[in-house]
């Protein structure tokens, strides 16, 4: 039973109506000068060369970059190529290579319903265990299919308990503790996830009050949940507060922020309880009553009554890179580390293992990551490290087909569909941090690999935790960084044609 996640749900789960996410990735946006016609010779020193281009950009903070010939590996030019900055979501490109090497492109993650006793006359004489296998794309639709399969297996009653096993991967309460509590791009991580570990909060004006709901919705289902609760507080700020109260995600929201109505995805901190809560509701719709779920530390042994398989890893990675989904990156990266036989209890420990693998496999000796998604700003990567890995990846042909095309735009922000330079790359955006790394094809077919990292770390360090979703000045700075990225791409596409 392999059900695919819909594009509409993927996009909806990645957005929040009360504000933009700090990790939203967009293409480079503005062309600052005309592109040379194919075949037109451009001197590397024109316009003051690379140094002159960077000086004219006048981007506050640091900019480091490097470019090389994809076929020969010859380094063409760089600025600060051996220096390191936060890669942001560009780190996901390395996570993809790590997972492909360890797990293989056809690997699928499984979520199972396991019976610890026999089914006699429709009665399960034992426990029913929802068993997570590291599938980051599991949705309410998939749980509904598992519930139907349970009924089809002849189960009408469960004599024992209802248990949840999530220990295929370590349990982490949030990807990056430095992020505000309410941002949906930093949810909990474990071996079991549902709806990207996000719960849907909706509010509607009802006279002088509001009706609120917390549910695990998809296009087909909207089961309300009890493990995440919302109360309206009489205040202006903060907009949200969060507390873990006896294993329940207890939220409050400021009444002054609600208006007449709206929706938002909030992060889930109790992923096993969340999935168990939703499955219990869905199973009840088939006439099967389950007791309240309990978390088990021991992997269940017994008969598999129903199973959901994810799409192949290559498909998951393409979606992960396209939508820059942090939870997918963390769960896939952790799964690769576990498959290597390394026992880890944190994202940082698993990322350190991936960094060691990158040093051994690609010579990335100056890359030190703290997670698999790039959300943690303490991660560091050098342009030379990434360019060297991309040269090898170009030879194997594994990564480029998974990367999305980067749109090059004119001064009005419109896509230049006939642009002679084509780019497939991974973007990376945090507040006052911007990265881009990937493959560039010049007008004459010359293929290059490149890495660009920029950061204003001094300004970023001054942002209070509560304001890190949309800090003042971040959008302007990041837009300017993306303008510089396109300028560099157009330079390299013109200067380094054959």
How far apart (Å, rounded) are the C-alpha atoms in residues 38 and 421?
9
How far apart (Å, rounded) are the C-alpha atoms in residues 199 and 184?
9
Cβ partners under 8 Å of residue 455, min gap 6:
61, 62, 85, 86, 432, 433, 434
| Average pLDDT of span 68-83 | 97
Cβ partners under 8 Å of residue 152, min gap 6:
none
Q: Please name the helix (run of DSSP H) or strand (run of DSSP E) that holds residue 426, with its range, or none.
A: strand 422-430
Residue of 44 and 460 predicted with greater confidence: 460
The SS3 assignment for 345 reads: coil
Q: How confident is the model at residue 8 (pLDDT cuts 50, 70, 90)?
A: low
DSSP 69-110: ETTT--EEEEESTT--B--GGGHHHHHHHHHHHHT-TT---E
The SS3 assignment for 251 reads: strand
Q: What is the pLDDT of residue 78?
A: 97
Cβ atoms within 10 Å, residue 281: 21
Q: What is the pLDDT of residue 33?
A: 39
The SS3 assignment for 302 reads: coil
Cβ atoms within 10 Å, residue 341: 6
How far apart (Å, rounded) are the C-alpha atoms in residues 211 and 203?
6
Q: How confident is the model at residue 411 (pLDDT cuts 50, 70, 90)?
A: confident
Total-model pTM:
0.93
- CA angle in degrees (0–180, nearest 5) for 26-140-374: 30
Q: Is the dihedral of CA 397, 403, 404, 410 positive or negative?
A: negative
Tokens of 141: 């639709």
Tokens of 435: 């990265």
| CA-based max dimension of the chain | 83
> For the segment 18-68, what is each residue's pLDDT rounded down to a tens digit?
333 343 333 444 333 334 444 565 788 888 999 999 999 999 999 999 999
- Write down the mean pLDDT value for the chain: 92
Chain centroid to CA 307: how far? 25
Tokens of 300: 């269940």
Q: What is the pLDDT of residue 277?
A: 98
Q: What is the pLDDT of residue 29?
A: 41
Cβ partners under 8 Å of residue 42, min gap 6:
36, 494, 495
| Average pLDDT of span 341-355 | 98
From the list 433, 428, 429, 427, the residue with the least C-alpha distance to 461 is: 433
The percent of residues in the chain predicted with pLDDT above 90, rounded, is 88
Cis previous bond, 238, omega within 30: yes
Name residue, tokens 């949906």.
184
How far apart (Å, rounded) are the C-alpha atoms in residues 210 and 213?
10
Tokens of 465: 């935790």
How far apart (Å, rounded) are the C-alpha atoms in residues 38 and 14?
39
Q: How confident is the model at residue 498 (pLDDT cuts 50, 70, 90)?
A: confident
End-to-end CA distance of the chain: 50
Domains of the chain: 7-105+313-495 (3.40.710.10), 109-310 (3.50.80.20)
> For the segment 289-311, what is each residue's pLDDT rounded down to a tens digit?
999 999 999 999 999 999 999 99
DSSP 202-232: EEEEETTEEEEEEE---SS---B-SSEEEEE
Percent helix, strand and coil across the chain, each rounded to 5? 30, 25, 45
Q: What is the pLDDT of residue 410?
A: 85
- CA angle in degrees (0–180, nearest 5) for 101-184-168: 40
- For the cut 80, the answer to whether the pLDDT of residue 199 exceeds it is yes
> For the segment 216-238, what is each residue's pLDDT rounded down to a tens digit?
999 999 999 999 999 999 999 99
Chain centroid to CA 34: how far? 35
Q: What is the pLDDT of residue 23?
A: 39
What are the strands, taking DSSP E only, across 388-474? 404-405, 422-430, 433-441, 447-455
């Amino acid at each position: 039973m392999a059900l695919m996640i819909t594009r509409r749900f993927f996009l909806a789960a990645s957005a929040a109506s009360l504000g933009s996410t700090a990790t939203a990735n967009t293409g480079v946006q503005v062309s600052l000068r005309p592109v040379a016609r194919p075949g037109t010779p451009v001197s590397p020193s024109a316009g003051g060369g690379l140094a002159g281009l960077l000086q004219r950009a006048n981007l506050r903070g640091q900019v480091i970059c490097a470019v090389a010939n994809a076929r020969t590996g010859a380094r063409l030019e760089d600025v600060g190529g051996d220096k390191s900055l936060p890669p942001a979501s560009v780190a996901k490109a390395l996570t993809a290579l790590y997972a492909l090497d360890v797990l293989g492109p056809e690997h699928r993650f499984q979520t199972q319903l396991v019976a610890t006793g026999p089914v006699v006359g429709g009665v399960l004489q034992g426990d029913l265990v929802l068993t997570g296998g590291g599938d980051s794309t599991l949705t309410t639709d998939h749980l509904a299919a598992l519930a139907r399969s349970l009924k089809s297996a002849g189960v009408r009653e469960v004599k024992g308990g209802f248990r949840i096993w999530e220990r295929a991967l370590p349990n982490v309460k949030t990807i990056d503790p430095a992020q505000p509590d309410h941002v949906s791009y930093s949810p909990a991580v474990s071996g079991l996830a549902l709806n990207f570990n996000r719960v849907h909060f909706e509010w509607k004006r009802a006279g002088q009050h509001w009706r609120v709901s917390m549910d695990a919705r998809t296009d087909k289902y909207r089961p309300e949940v009890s493990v995440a609760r919302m109360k309206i507080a009489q205040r202006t700020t903060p907009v949200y507060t969060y507390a873990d109260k006896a294993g329940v995600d207890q939220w409050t929201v400021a009444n002054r922020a609600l208006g007449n109505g709206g929706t938002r995805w909030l992060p889930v901190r109790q992923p096993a309880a969340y999935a168990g809560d939703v499955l219990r509701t869905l199973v009840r719709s088939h006439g099967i009553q389950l007791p309240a779920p309990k978390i088990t530390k021991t992997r269940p042994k017994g008969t598999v009554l129903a199973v959901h398989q994810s799409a192949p890893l290559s498909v998951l990675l393409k979606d992960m890179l396209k939508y820059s989904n942090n939870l997918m990156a963390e769960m896939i990266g952790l799964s690769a580390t576990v498959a290597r036989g390394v026992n880890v209890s944190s994202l940082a420990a698993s990322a350190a293992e991936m960094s060691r693998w990158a040093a051994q496999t690609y010579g990335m000796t100056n890359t030190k990551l703290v997670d698999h998604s790039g959300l943690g700003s303490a991660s560091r990567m050098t342009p030379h490290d990434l360019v060297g890995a991309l040269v090898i990846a170009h030879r194997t042909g594994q990564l480029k087909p998974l990367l999305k095309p980067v749109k090059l735009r004119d001064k009005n922000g419109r896509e230049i569909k006939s642009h002679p330079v084509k780019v497939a790359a991974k973007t990376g955006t945090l507040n006052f941090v911007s990265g881009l790394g990937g493959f560039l094809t010049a007008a004459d077919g010359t293929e290059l690999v490149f890495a660009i990292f920029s950061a204003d770390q001094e300004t970023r360090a001054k942002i209070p935790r509560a304001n890190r979703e949309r800090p003042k000045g971040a959008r302007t700075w990041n837009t300017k960084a993306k303008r510089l990225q396109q300028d560099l791409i157009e330079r390299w596409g013109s200067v380094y044609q054959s």
